[in-house]
Amino acid sequence: MLFRVIIRKEGLPDETRTVEAPTRFAVYDQVRGEGGVVLSIKERTGFGRMVLSRLNITFGSGIKRQEIIRFARNLSAMIVAGLSISRALSVIERQSSNPRMKAVATGLSESIKKGSSFNEALALYPRVFPEIFVAMARAGEESGSLSESLNVVALQMGRSEELSRKIRGAMIYPSIVIIGVLIVAILMLIFVVPTLTNTFTSLGVQVPLATRIIVAMSDFLVNNAVLIAPVLILLAGVGVSFARSRIGGKLLLLGSLHLPVIGELIRETYTARAARTLSSLLVAGVPVLNALAITKSVVHAEVFANVVSEAEEHVRKGDLLSKAFSEHTGLYPILMSDMLAVGEETGKVAEMLKQIAEFYEDTVSEKTKDLSTIIEPVLMLIIGAFVGVFAVAMIAPIYQLSSAI
């Protein structure tokens, strides 16, 4: 993998160069070995892969996140039982029903037999094992507590996956309702409105503006029926690509942060993710600057990741970790900076971060249970408004006709 890195060395101007390394973690080690400090690091992406990533088309590993979590837990248990890593990987390879997971376990075992460390072997599969997994494995190997580190990373990934699954589940109901309303609206415009339009035209009824707008929409759909599906697919593709692009995602996130209920839920979700990741890395013994750099990539959303980046800069300068979070209470709740400050005073930063993560994970979990109940009245209002506008637009000409008679 190639990384674009900005490096600072004492007494020299900042240097920007491309570094080849298996992970960001390795880049930090390489630069530190040269007596420098990493100011910024970004993965360089080829044009083809960049285009595919914008469309969210990735070279997937074919291995689900749950399988990786299970892999970490099983490997931890077998190491505790006294098995060597190579033998434990061999057992996992035989037990797995996923051919790709079998291939990965075999590849890891072969790399270790050739002299690679476990974390170096993991780094050869960046599409399978996230950076936090590699970092935790390395910290565990260096401290002699690989089993414990694997348990911690399994817990971290499991809680993150559970949180994401609950949020996705809460959004299924409103999504189905909105899609259903759109389908019904299109069918009515294509099959119902033309019949009423023919009746109004034959009787010479003067229709109001709202009716004329609906009739125009109906005529467009009827006259361009062949193009409807391709256009809808194209619009959906463009919309998804824009939403997943850097600019589009940032704009949507900033807009969502101003929505009632949803905005607070987003803040708490990213706070829980950042706190859980940073806590797990610090507990595993990862240096704080490296832990913040990895947390920044795990948080992913640029708006929230920038705050973690500022925290990294503050720590590098000798300031408190809580300082950056206290300056951005509009993104990270004030409880985050307050508890971090307490942790820094008592020397229990990792423990405080864990408490923050658990608190907001539980809070988000409770709120997602009630999200459908909160959204339901809003959906009813939207559907009611749609039905009301349509009914008034179609009934008004009929009422005029009956009045004339």
pLDDT averaged over the chain? 82
pLDDT tens digits along 250-298:
888 888 888 887 888 889 989 998 898 898 888 888 888 888 888 887 7
> 44 pLDDT band (50/70/90 cuts)?
low
User: What is the token pair recorded at 104?
Assistant: 């990965």
Amino acid code (one letter) for 145 = S
Show Cβ contacts of residue 119 under 8 Å, excluding neighbours closer than 6 positions: 134, 135, 137, 138, 141
Q: Are strands 2-8 and 15-20 parallel, antiparallel or unpaired?
A: antiparallel
What's the pLDDT score for residue 342?
93
Least confidently predicted of 144-148, 218-222, 365-369: 365-369
Mean pLDDT of 285-312: 86
What is the percentage of the chain residues whose pLDDT exceeds 70? 92
What's the pLDDT score for residue 24?
65
> 339 pLDDT band (50/70/90 cuts)?
very high
What is the percentage of the chain residues whose pLDDT exceeds 90? 11
Asked if the model's pLDDT at residue 211 lies above 80, the reply is yes
Least confidently predicted of 13-17, 101-105, 263-267, 310-314: 13-17
Give CA–CA dist 147/179, Å, rounded: 47
What's the pLDDT score for residue 277?
87
Higher-pLDDT residue of 273 and 166 is: 273
What's the pLDDT score for residue 1?
62
What's the pLDDT score for residue 56?
36
What's the pLDDT score for residue 50?
45
Asked if the model's pLDDT at residue 232 lies above 90, the reply is no
pLDDT tens digits along 45-60:
544 444 433 333 333 4
pLDDT tens digits along 95-131:
888 888 888 999 998 888 888 889 888 988 888 888 8
Q: Do 400 and 205 touch, CB atoms closer than 8 A?
A: yes
Asked if the model's pLDDT at residue 368 lies above 70, the reply is yes
> 359 pLDDT band (50/70/90 cuts)?
very high
Give CA–CA dist 6/27, Å, rounded: 11
Q: Do 321 and 177 touch, CB atoms closer than 8 A?
A: no
Please write down the HEC assignment for all residues of the chain: CEEEEEEECCCCCCEEEEEECCCHHHHHHHHHHCCCEEEEEEECCCHHHHHHHHCCCCCCCCCCHHHHHHHHHHHHHHHHCCCCHHHHHHHHHHHCCCHHHHHHHHHHHHHHHCCCCHHHHHHCCCCCCCHHHHHHHHHHHHHCCHHHHHHHHHHHHHHHHHHHHHHHHHHHHHHHHHHHHHHHHHHHHHHHHHHHHHHHHHHCCCCCHHHHHHHHHHHHHHHCHHHHHHHHHHHHHHHHHHHHCHHHHHHHHHHHCCCCCHHHHHHHHHHHHHHHHHHHHHHCCCCHHHHHHHHHHHHCCHHHHHHHHHHHHHHHCCCCCHHHHHCCCCCCCHHHHHHHHHHHHHCCHHHHHHHHHHHHHHHHHHHHHHHHHHHHHHHHHHHHHHHHHHHHHHHHHHHHHHHHC
Q: Do 339 and 272 touch, CB atoms closer than 8 A?
A: no
Pick the most confident of 42-46, 127-131, 248-252, 303-307. Answer: 303-307
